[in-house]
Structure 1
Amino acid sequence: MSETPEVRPPVVTPARVVIGLCLVAPFVAMLWVGSYAKTDPAFIGIPFFYWYQMLWVLISTALTMLAYQLWQRDQRTRKGTDGGAAK
């Protein structure tokens, strides 16, 4: 009757928190319209309102790629600690 309890890795890890922040940041930046609803400073003649949004397209791409890489690493680590058990 001395069975040892099964040890599972924690569900919330620092890597998963960073993944969540990477995916939420573009939404927050774009939904907070008051922060970029202006024309100055212009960049090569393009009002701030437009180039700020286009910059976030590139930032969102980079953050999504980072989140994906972190997720892949997290899954590899979990498979190593689970002993190969599929989840």
Structure 2
Amino acid sequence: MAPEDAEPNDRNPWYLLLLIPVVVPMLVFIYNDNEPRLFGFPRFYWLQLALIPLSVLVTLAVYRLTRSPADDTPTETDPTVDELGGE
């Protein structure tokens, strides 16, 4: 089977990291308190806002760890091929 004919592997273990942004906000005991306060905001609010960059970083890490080198090569349907001198 040629690499072009291969099906994408959705069972990559790196995808398990995507459970972090899903599970951590469900752990209510982490932020179920008023103290400590950050700039006057109770823990619930600033921790919820802190989870946004965490989710972005985890998603970015999984994307970078799971993309294949073939994703970086331009194809004929890619509009940037003409700019690079392709036909």
TM-score range, shorter chain: 0.5 to 0.7
Residue 14 of structure 2 contacts residue 66 of structure 2 at CA under 8 Å; is this kept in 1?
A: no
Question: Which stretches of structure 1, 4 residues or longer, exceed 3 Å deviation after superposition?
Answer: none
Equivalent residue, structure 2, for 1:43: 38
- For residue 64 of structure 2, the aligned residue among 54, 60, 69 is 69
2:10 is the alignment partner of 1:17: no
Residue 19 of structure 1 contacts residue 70 of structure 1 at CA under 8 Å; is this kept in 2?
A: no
Report the Cα distance in structure 2 between the residues aligned to 1:62 and 1:69, rounded to whole angstroms: 11
Q: CA RMSD in A?
A: 2.3
Q: Percent identity?
A: 27
Greater relative CO, 1 or 2 (CA 8 Å, sep 6+): 1
User: Which of the pair is proportionally richer in helix?
Assistant: 1
Contiguous gaps of at least 5 residues in structure 2: 2-8, 71-87
TM-score by length of 2: 0.62
Contiguous gaps of at least 5 residues in structure 1: 1-5, 78-87
How many residue pairs get aligned? The number is 64
